[in-house]
Chain A
Amino acid sequence: MDTAADRVAAEDTLLFVNAAITSTGQREFHSGDGLQQWSIEFLHEYMRVNYRDLYAATLALGVNDFNAAAIIAALLHSGREATAAQREREGRLIRVTLRRMAPQRVYRLFTALQREGVNNRRTRAVMREWLRGREHLAFEAVKYRAGFKRAVRHAHLAVDGFGGSEGAELERFLFAPMSVGRYATPLFETWRRAHFDRSAVFELPYTVAEGLAAKHRITRAEFLKRIEPRLTRGERLRLQRSALRTGAGIAADEADLGRMPLTRLAAYVLALPVPEREERRSELTGALRGAAARVAGDRAGTWGPVASVLDDSYSSSGSDEKRRRPLVVALAVHFLLESLSGDYRPHWLSEREDALTVVPRGVTALGQGLLDGLEARPELVVVVSDGWDNAPAGMAAEVLRVWRERLDPDGATTVVHLNPVFDAAGLQVRSFDAATPTAGIRDAEDLPELVAFARFAAGRAGLDELRSHIDARVERRLAEEDA
C-alpha cells in the first residue's frame, strides 16, 4: 500500500510544514536572511508544483503569517494550474486564513500581489471580499492608508459602494484627500485637521500620529505623554523603555500583562534586564502562569509525568531580527508544560533552577540535558532546541540510542524535539537525532497539537494517515470559521 512515492510525499509535506511554521525569511543565529529567503522560496515552489492540494491545506496547519501570505500569493498567482474543485477549496482556505491574519500583514500581502502584477479575477475577488468584511473601515483607511489605497486601486474596487457612512467619503479620502473641505466621518476629519492643527495629532492612531508629530516638531517626550491613551497594548509595552529614556513615563498596566498571549508575554519578559525581572518576579511569574493556564484550559494538569530539556545556549539568542526567539519559545513551553502536567521537571542546559532569570549563554550540551531529563523516567520528554548539539556533537543521538536499546526497550518514554529555528542550509528544521520526531514550533501555544503531530515526523505514520489528519484539521478550521 505504502509506496515509495507516498513516503516521499509524506516526508516532503512534513518538511514543508515544519519550515513554514518556523521560517520567516529573517536572519537566524546560524544563517543570514538571504539564505533563509532562498530556502523557503524553494520549498514553496516545490510544494506548490508537486502537491498543490496539500500545499493549500497547510494553511490550516498553523503555519506562520509570513508563510501563509506566501502560500496565498503563490496560489493566486498560479490559479490556472488548479482544477475547479481545488480552486473552490483554496478559496475557502484563503478566506478563513485572511480573516485570522493581522490586517497589516494582509495589506502587505496585497502590496506584494500588486508588485508582482498578480491581477486575475480571483485575486480581485479575494481582495474585495476581505475589504468588504472589515468592521472599522475608516480606521483602517487612516492607519494603513498606503496599503489600503494600493489594494483599492489594484483590485479596481468601487469603494463608494462599501456602505456605512464612511463609504461615501472613502474614495475622496484616498485619492483626493485635501480637495474639498470637511469630512463627515470623524476620523477622516481628525486626520485632515492634524495636518495643520497640532492638538488633533493626538487623536489619531499612534503610528499615524508619529509622522505628523514630526511635521509639527512635537518633542518626543510631549508626544509620548499625550498619545498615551491612544496606544494599543503591544505599543504600550514596546514603548515603555524608550519612553523612560526620553523622560515621559508610560504606565505599565498590570492588566495588560494578564491579557497577553503566552509567547508574546515570554518575549516581553526576556527583553527585560535580569535585575528588573528579579524585582518584578511575582508579577511576571503570575502573568506567565496565568497565560499558560489560559492556553491549557481544561487540559491543565491532565498530562502524566513530563520532563523538558530547554536550550538556553548562546545560539538561543537568535538574531537581531528575531531577538531571543528560541529562548522565548523555550520559556513559554516551560510554563505551559508546568500547567499541563501535574508532575513536571524542567532541565535547562545551563543547569539553572530559576526559569525567570534565564539568559542565552554557554554551549548546547544536549546529551547531558537528555540524561538529566530521562533520569526520572517520565512518560514524555520535550526537547526545545535549535538542534545544534555541539558539546560534543552527536552525543544526544548516542544517549538516545543507548537509552532505547538498553534502558527503555519497551519505549515507555516518548522523546519529542520541538525546534523553533529553520535551518536554511539544510532546508529543514535541524534534528539532532534521526530517530526522534522533530517538529517546528512558532508559538508555545501550539505545543499540544505539535506533540501529537510529531509522531508523523518519526516516520511511523504513512501518507494516508497524514492526509486524513490534515483533512480533519482543514475541515475543523473551515467549520470554525463558517459557524
Chain B
Amino acid sequence: MTRLTFTGLKTRPGQVWGGIRLVPLVRPEPIESLRLHPAARDSIVYEKMRGCWYAPHGLIAEWTGDGTAVPAYGSALQMAANTVRRSRKPPTKLGRRTRVRFVPHRVALESYLPLTFMSPEIAWPAWRPEAFRRGLPNAETPRRTGEDMTGLREALRVFEIYPGQCGVLVYTADALAGVLVTPHPDDYRALHATLIEDHYSELIYRYALTHRAVGEFEARIDESSVTTVEELRARVATAEAEWAAFHDATMAAGLIGAASRFHEQYRMGEYALHGFRPTDLMRPEGHVGEAITHEDGTLAYLRSYRLSETQLRRARLLDALAEHQWHLEATAASLRLEPGALAARIHQAGFGELLQQHIVDHYRAVQAY
C-alpha cells in the first residue's frame, strides 16, 4: 500500500458552520465483520458476534487481571481469543469488563510522530551522549484538542448525520484537519461526538481562530435542455457527483492522493492495521494516522492527524539527519547550508540539547564573526 483511497465510501455534500466544514462519507454497504468494540460504547450489552472488533485509541484503556494499567498504544484490533487458532491468549471473558473510556489521542500521536526519528548509530563527537541513550527530546508544540478549536463544538453539534454515514472529513478554513472513518453507521454515531476530544495541530488551531467563515459551495444546475422533472432530477444528481469529484480530487488531495509510507502494525483475520505518515516531507500538507483495511482494499477504519508546519519542518530535519547517519557536515551539505546554520536550525526545532554545548558555541562564534 502506498496511497490511501476511500474505497467503498462515497463523498456527500459538506455542511458548513462558521469556519468549519464537515464533509460526510457514506458507505452504501456497511461492514459487519469489523465493529467498534462493544466496551467502547456506553451500553454494556455484549452481542454474541463473531468477527473482528476494533477499539479506537481515543476511547479505550485496557487493564490486566492483576490491576496493572495498560493504556492502548495506538488502536488495538481484537477478536475473542478462542476464535484464533493456536492463540496463546487465554479465552476472553467478555462479561468481565477490563476496558473503560479513556481519552489519550495524545498517546497515539506520540506513537507515530517520532517515527521519523532513527537515533544516531555512529557516535559523532558533535552529539551529546544523551542523544544515543534517551532518544528524541520532547519538543512538542502546545497540544490543541477539539475543545480549543473555535467553533468545532458548535459545528459538531449542529451537524446532521447522513443516513448510512460512516465517516467525516473535518476542514477548518478549508484545510483538512482530520478524518474519521468507521466500518458501520452505528459506530460513527457513537464516535461522532468524540471528534471534540481529538487533537489537532497548532496550524489547524490557528486557522480555526482566524478564519471565522468559509463559503458554501452553492450548487449550480445547467438548466438548458431540461424539459421534464426526471431530467432535472438527473441534473441534480450530476451536480452532486461533480461536487464529490471536486472534493476528492482537490480538497482532500493532501490525504487521498498523496503518497504515504505504511507500516503494518497488526493483522487479525482479514483486516490489517496500518500506521501511515507522509513520504514526501517537502509537500506543504502532511497527515499521519492509522487505518484498518480489508484484504480487498476496502478502507474500514481511519483516523488521521494533520501535521503542523513546525512538525513537518522537524520531520524534514530528522529525515535529513537520518539519511546522512547524523553527520553534521554531510547533512548540512545536502541541505545546502553552512554547518552553523544547520546547528541553529536544530536548536530552533527544539533539539538543541542533543548537540554538545561547545559545538553550538563554536558555530555561534563563527557566525557572529
By a beta-carbon cutoff of 8 Å, the part of chain A in contact with chain B is: 29-30, 313-315, 350, 361-364, 367-368, 371, 374-375, 390-395, 398-399, 401-403, 405-407
**In the bound complex, how far is the Cα of B228 from the Cα of A406, in angstroms?**
9
The interface centre, meaning the residue of B162, B216, B223, B226 with most chain A CB atoms within 10 A of its CB, is B223
Could you show 9 A-B contacts with beta carbons less than 8 Å apart? A362-B161, A363-B161, A363-B163, A367-B236, A371-B236, A375-B229, A392-B13, A392-B240, A406-B232
Q: B160 interface residue, CB < 8 Å from A?
A: yes
**In the bound complex, how far is the Cα of B158 from the Cα of A407, in angstroms?**
35
Residues of B within 8 Å of A395, CB to CB, are 219, 236, 239-240
Interface of B is mostly: loop
What is the chain A residue whose CB lies nearest that of B222?
A402
Residues of B within 8 Å of A375, CB to CB, are 229
**In the bound complex, how far is the Cα of B324 from the Cα of A431, in angstroms?**
62
Q: Are B12 and A391 in contact (CB-based, < 8 A)?
A: yes
Our pick among B15, B223, B235, B239 for the contact of A390 (Cβ within 8 Å) is B15
Q: B16 interface residue, CB < 8 Å from A?
A: yes
By a beta-carbon cutoff of 8 Å, the part of chain B in contact with chain A is: 12-16, 158, 160-163, 216-221, 223, 226-229, 232-233, 235-236, 239-240, 243
Q: How far is the CB of B290 from chain A (nearest CB, A)?
A: 28
Q: How far is the CB of B296 from chain A (nearest CB, A)?
A: 29
What is the chain A residue whose CB lies nearest that of B215?
A393
Among all A-B residue pairs, the 3 with the closest Cβ atoms? A392-B13, A394-B218, A393-B216
Q: Are B219 and A367 in contact (CB-based, < 8 A)?
A: yes
Q: Knowing that A392-B14, A398-B221 touch, tell me 6 more A-B residue pairs with CB under 8 angstroms.
A: A371-B236, A375-B229, A391-B12, A398-B220, A405-B223, A406-B223
Q: Given A406-B227, A407-B229, is A393 in contact with B221 using a C-beta cutoff of 8 Å?
A: no
Q: How far is the CB of A322 from chain B (nearest CB, A)?
A: 15
Q: Given A362-B160, A362-B162, A395-B236, is A407 in contact with B217 using a C-beta cutoff of 8 Å?
A: no
Q: Are B219 and A394 in contact (CB-based, < 8 A)?
A: yes
Q: How far is the CB of A377 from chain B (nearest CB, A)?
A: 8
Q: Are A402 and B235 in contact (CB-based, < 8 A)?
A: yes
What is the chain B residue whose CB lies nearest that of A401?
B223
Residues of A within 8 Å of B15, CB to CB, are 363, 390-391, 393
Q: Are B217 and A399 in contact (CB-based, < 8 A)?
A: no
Q: How far is the CB of B315 from chain A (nearest CB, A)?
A: 36
Residues of A within 8 Å of B235, CB to CB, are 402
**In the bound complex, how far is the Cα of B219 from the Cα of A403, in angstroms?**
15
Q: Are B223 and A402 in contact (CB-based, < 8 A)?
A: yes
Q: Given A391-B12, A391-B13, is A402 in contact with B217 using a C-beta cutoff of 8 Å?
A: no
**In the bound complex, how far is the Cα of B15 from the Cα of A393, in angstroms?**
8
Q: Are A393 and B223 in contact (CB-based, < 8 A)?
A: no
Q: Are B232 and A371 in contact (CB-based, < 8 A)?
A: yes
Residues of B within 8 Å of A399, CB to CB, are 221, 232, 236
Q: How far is the CB of B220 from chain A (nearest CB, A)?
A: 7
Q: How far is the CB of A396 from chain B (nearest CB, A)?
A: 9
Q: Given A393-B217, A398-B219, A398-B221, is A403 in contact with B13 using a C-beta cutoff of 8 Å?
A: no
Q: Are A314 and B219 in contact (CB-based, < 8 A)?
A: no
Q: Are B236 and A368 in contact (CB-based, < 8 A)?
A: yes
Residues of B within 8 Å of A401, CB to CB, are 221, 223
Q: Are A392 and B219 in contact (CB-based, < 8 A)?
A: yes
**In the bound complex, how far is the Cα of B229 from the Cα of A332, in angstroms?**
29
Our pick among A315, A362, A392, A402 for the contact of B158 (Cβ within 8 Å) is A315
**In the bound complex, how far is the Cα of B61 from the Cα of A463, in angstroms?**
67
**In the bound complex, how far is the Cα of B233 from the Cα of A374, in angstroms?**
11
**In the bound complex, how far is the Cα of B226 from the Cα of A371, in angstroms?**
13
Q: Are B162 and A363 in contact (CB-based, < 8 A)?
A: yes
Q: Are B160 and A313 in contact (CB-based, < 8 A)?
A: yes
Q: Are A393 and B229 in contact (CB-based, < 8 A)?
A: no
Q: How far is the CB of A229 from chain B (nearest CB, A)?
A: 41
**In the bound complex, how far is the Cα of B220 from the Cα of A405, in angstroms?**
14
Q: Given A395-B219, A402-B223, A402-B232, is A314 in contact with B161 using a C-beta cutoff of 8 Å?
A: yes
Q: Are A392 and B243 in contact (CB-based, < 8 A)?
A: yes
Residues of A within 8 Å of B16, CB to CB, are 393
**In the bound complex, how far is the Cα of B226 from the Cα of A313, in angstroms?**
29
Q: Given A363-B160, A390-B13, is A374 in contact with B219 using a C-beta cutoff of 8 Å?
A: no
**In the bound complex, how far is the Cα of B162 from the Cα of A401, in angstroms?**
26
**In the bound complex, how far is the Cα of B220 from the Cα of A367, in angstroms?**
12
Q: Given A395-B239, A407-B232, is A402 in contact with B13 using a C-beta cutoff of 8 Å?
A: no
**In the bound complex, how far is the Cα of B221 from the Cα of A405, in angstroms?**
12
Q: How far is the CB of A326 from chain B (nearest CB, A)?
A: 13
Residues of A within 8 Å of B223, CB to CB, are 401-402, 405-406
**In the bound complex, how far is the Cα of B231 from the Cα of A318, in angstroms?**
35
Q: Are B236 and A390 in contact (CB-based, < 8 A)?
A: no
Residues of A within 8 Å of B229, CB to CB, are 371, 374-375, 407
**In the bound complex, how far is the Cα of B236 from the Cα of A473, in angstroms?**
42
**In the bound complex, how far is the Cα of B12 from the Cα of A315, in angstroms?**
18
Q: Are B216 and A394 in contact (CB-based, < 8 A)?
A: yes
Q: Are B236 and A315 in contact (CB-based, < 8 A)?
A: no
**In the bound complex, how far is the Cα of B160 from the Cα of A345, in angstroms?**
25
**In the bound complex, how far is the Cα of B228 from the Cα of A371, in angstroms?**
11
**In the bound complex, how far is the Cα of B194 from the Cα of A279, in angstroms?**
36
Residues of A within 8 Å of B161, CB to CB, are 314, 361-363
What is the chain B residue whose CB lies nearest that of A315?
B160
Q: How far is the CB of B231 from chain A (nearest CB, A)?
A: 9
**In the bound complex, how far is the Cα of B229 from the Cα of A119, in angstroms?**
62
Residues of B within 8 Å of A371, CB to CB, are 229, 232-233, 236
Our pick among B14, B218, B220, B227 for the contact of A407 (Cβ within 8 Å) is B227
**In the bound complex, how far is the Cα of B235 from the Cα of A406, in angstroms?**
13
Residues of B within 8 Å of A393, CB to CB, are 13, 15-16, 216-219
Residues of A within 8 Å of B227, CB to CB, are 406-407
